[in-house]
Amino acid sequence: MGFDVFLPESEDELMTLLMRENAKIMAGGTDLLVRIRAGRINPDKIISLSKIQGMNEITDVGDRIRVGCRVTHSMALNSNVLKEHSPIMLMALKEIGSPQIRNRGTIVGNVVNASPAGDSLIPLYLSNAKVVIHGPKGERKLPIEEFIKGPGKTALSMGEFVRAVEFEKSGSWHPLFYKVGQRTAMAIAIASLGLLIKGDNLRIAFGSVAPTVVRAYKAERYFKRSNGIITVMDEFMERCLEYVSPIDDIRASAWYRKEVIKNLLKSAFDFWRKKVL
């Protein structure tokens, strides 16, 4: 163990440092430092973003919102742009960790960490997020589903970093978000479920029940075809569960995860039916 810490003050400096071997970027460090302590990764260079100017803004860009790579969960929770245009994001952020973790951890960090349990990923998947990547060849954008390749795996190449994430506004959609953890606060999701509903349009995403967060597109199309009225719950459920392939791990069994997703879906649509009627 033991590593050097670099504190670049400009993006250029950051880009140069990123060309070095075995370096890791640190934003809040809430995942990185834990993994280093546990010996799961062993970088010899840590490049901290703490001294870089900017990249800590939440901007309204027309029908989309842009969140810079230094925006912490706490900053996002206090953002009027998000309050107005992405209530689903706020619902998810409130479920993250403790005040200390929310003060350090960042949304982009959550994206790069690529955990299937990342709480802020559900709203990003539901809002068709694009990841803004900056690298030696300039800037490129990838849909989040292409960016996150598997647990802890992303499409980032050598020398690249994530400058921001952009996602659709969803203020006119009805948001629903459920997270099941081992306790109410400071818990990692065992299973989570997010929905955006507007008329006969539905978007639905699951967390912690597959190698990545997943959107249930078939279920979304089924909902559209049914004109937003689910008469046969089983048919809808079947289309959802196609995307659910949980594993047994230290927090819960696959059985429990699946069962919880089924129950939460039923309860979400009971709620929705009552609301629409």
Partner 1 sequence: MNTVENKKNVIGSKIKRVDAIPKVNGKAKFAADLYFDRMVYCYLVLARKGHGILKDIDVEKALDVPGVVGVYTYKDIPGENQLGEVVKDMPCLVSVGEKVRYYGDVVAVVAAETYEIAKEAAEKISLEIEELPAVLTIEKALEDKIRVHEPTNVPIHKKIRKGNVEDGFKHSDEIFEGEFYAHYQEQAYLEPQGIIVTPDIDYGFTVYGTMQCPYYVQNSVARVLATSLNRVRVIQTETGGAFGGKEDVPSYVASYAAVAAYNTGRPAKLIYDRETDIQTTSKRHPIKSHYRIGVSKEGKLRAVEIKAYMDMGAYATLSPIVMFRTLVHAAGSYDIPNVKVDVYGVYTNKIPPGAFRGFGSPQVLFAVEAMMDEISEKLSIDPIKLRLMNTLREGSRTATDHLLTESVGAVKTLENIREISNWEHLNKEVEAFNNTHQDKKRGIGVSHIFYGVSLGAAGQHLDASGSHVQINADGTVDVRIGGTEMGQGAKTVIAMIAAEELGQHIEKINVHQPDTAFVPDSGPTVASRTTVYSGNATRLAASELRQRLIDVFCNLTGALAENVQWGNGKFLDSLSGQEISFENLVEHAFRKNAKLNETGWYKTASLEWDAEKGIGEAYVTYSFASQIVVVEVNLNTGQTKVVKAYTSHDVGKALNPEGIIGQVQGGFVQGMGYALFEDLKFKNGQILTDNFNTYIIPTIHEIPEELIIDIVEEPFSRGPYGAKGIGEPSLMPTPAAIANAISRAIGKRIKRIPATPEYILKLIKED
Residue nearer to partner 1 on the CB measure, 98 or 172: 98
- Alpha-carbon gap, residue 7 to 23, rounded angstroms: 13
Residue nearer to partner 1 on the CB measure, 200 or 270: 270
Burial of 12: CB neighbours in 10 Å, binned 0-12, 13-18, 19+ = exposed
**Residue of 50, 157, 182, 201 interacting with partner 1 (CB under 8 A):** 182
**Residue of 5, 19, 33, 34 interacting with partner 1 (CB under 8 A):** 34
**Residue of 5, 78, 263, 273 interacting with partner 1 (CB under 8 A):** 263
Minimal distance, residue 5 CB to partner 1, in Å = 16
Residue 36 binds partner 1, judged by CB under 8 A: no
**Residue of 221, 267, 273, 276 interacting with partner 1 (CB under 8 A):** 267
With both helix axes pointing from N to C terminus, report the angle between 217-225 and 233-241 in degrees, rounded to the nearest 10. Answer: 160
Residue 230 binds partner 1, judged by CB under 8 A: no
Residue 231 binds partner 1, judged by CB under 8 A: no
Tell me if 129 sits within 8 A of 215, measured CB to CB.
no
Residue 252 binds partner 1, judged by CB under 8 A: yes
Strands 4-6, 45-48: pairing kind:
parallel
Closest to 167 in 3D by CA, of 209, 219, 203: 203
